[in-house]
Amino acid sequence: MQNFFVKSHGLGNDYIVLNQNEIGFELNENAIQKICDVHFGIGSDGILLKVPSFNANFGLRILNPDGSEAEKSGNGLRIFAKYLFDYQFSKTRKFTIETLGGLVQAEIIEEKNGKATAVKVDMGKAIFSSPDIPVNCPKEECIDEILHLEYKDYPVNCVSVGNPHCVILTDNLDEKEVKTFGPQIETDPFFPNRINVQFAKVISPTEVAAMIWERGAGWTLASGSSACAVAAVTIKKGLVQRNLTIKMPGGDLKIEADENWNMRMTGKVSEIASGVLSRELVSELT
């Protein structure tokens, strides 16, 4: 169906799924910004575009609401896997998805009336090497390095799980602090491709609470790749076990990391709505 969309969320992190074969307009920066705008479009934390892949069962492009493109998204991958299963693009529960940030394996682990309700994703490896994240850090790994902002310094821990992340450990999670300093950290020249920012508080050896400022999206209720990043950093620092729960304002994600830093994420996913973009909206996009 022309211009068919599905809107879903993973723990309140919401995405609109579109199929490149079904859209009758160019999904450029202006179109992405408008569709993701809650007043002028549908409103979402980003767009997931189904594209062909030669290397995996399916291909996925992940577009942030500011029009930029992300390499990976954990909630986005679970939402996309649900879409592929629910709308019968995949007849099997296990399949591979190619993203800009690498190839992942997804598995539908719970379903109700033929609709996926929980998905497990093998997210790939956590990478700590500074040039690969990338971060302009003089050390090979950017762990406990001081980031100097205009009015504040933060010890930061950087990691890539396909997309770049900066984890700040704190004893006091404060939404106002995340919203004030998140945008400054995201765009600091220390991070050549900008960065996703997490403030994280270790609660116990199996639980970490986190608040997130996403690159290209801002404050979100949850983020799957951020949860993997928080897990990777807190495991590396010996603060938690390799199997843990990351608690975010929108809900919890289970994360596992093996000895080689392969990250696995498991969590819920729900559809909100489906429909067709109106002719009026599409005419404003082109």
Ligand X SMILES: N[C@@H](CCC[C@H](N)C(=O)O)C(=O)O
The 10 Å Cβ neighbour count of residue 20 is 12
Q: Which of residues 10-29 bind ligand X (CB under 6 A)?
A: 13
| Nearest residue (CB) to ligand X, 130 versus 225 | 225
Using CB under 6 A, pick the residue from 75, 157, 198, 234 that binds ligand X.
75
Measure the CA–CA gap between 271 and 77, rounded to whole angstroms.
14
* Residue 111: C-alpha distances to residues 33, 86, 93, 254 (Å): 32, 9, 10, 18
161/240 with CB nearer ligand X: 161
Alpha-carbon Rg of the chain, whole angstroms?
18
Q: How far is the CB of 32 from ligand X (least distance, A)?
A: 12
Binding site, by residue number, is 13, 64, 74-75, 163, 196, 214-215, 224-225
Nearer to ligand X, 3 or 229 (CB): 229
Minimum distance from residue 224 beta carbon to ligand X (Å): 4
Q: Does 73 bind ligand X (CB under 6 A)?
A: yes
The DSSP H or E segment spanning 50 is strand 47-51
Site track for ligand X across 170-209, x = CB under 6 A: --------------------------x-------------
Alpha-carbon torsion 219, 168, 209, 240, what sign? positive
Torsion angle, CA of 214/235/267/173, rounded to 10 degrees?
-50
CB 159 within 8 A of CB 127: yes
- E strands, 191-250, in order: 196-204, 207-214, 218-220, 243-248
Based on the shown chain and the rule CB under 6 A, indicate whether residue 225 belongs to the binding site for ligand X.
yes
The stretch among 200-208, 218-226, 256-264, 266-274 that binds ligand X (CB under 6 A) is 218-226
Size of the site for ligand X (CB under 6 A): 19
41 touches ligand X by CB under 6 A: no
For 256-280, give the DSSP string: EE-TT-EEEEEEE-EEEEEEE--HH
Rule CB under 6 A: is residue 234 a binding residue for ligand X? no
Residues that constitute the known binding site for substrate: 13, 64, 74-75, 163, 196, 214-215, 224-225
Q: Interface with ligand X includes 44 (CB under 6 A)?
A: no
CB 265 within 8 A of CB 74: yes
Nearer to ligand X, 3 or 41 (CB): 41
Among 41, 59, 76, 124, binds ligand X (CB under 6 A): 76
**Is residue 283 packed enough to be buried (19+ CB in 10 Å), middle (13-18) or exposed (0-12)?**
exposed
Q: Interface with ligand X by CB under 6 A: which residues? A: 13, 62, 64, 70, 73-76, 163, 196, 214-217, 220, 223-226
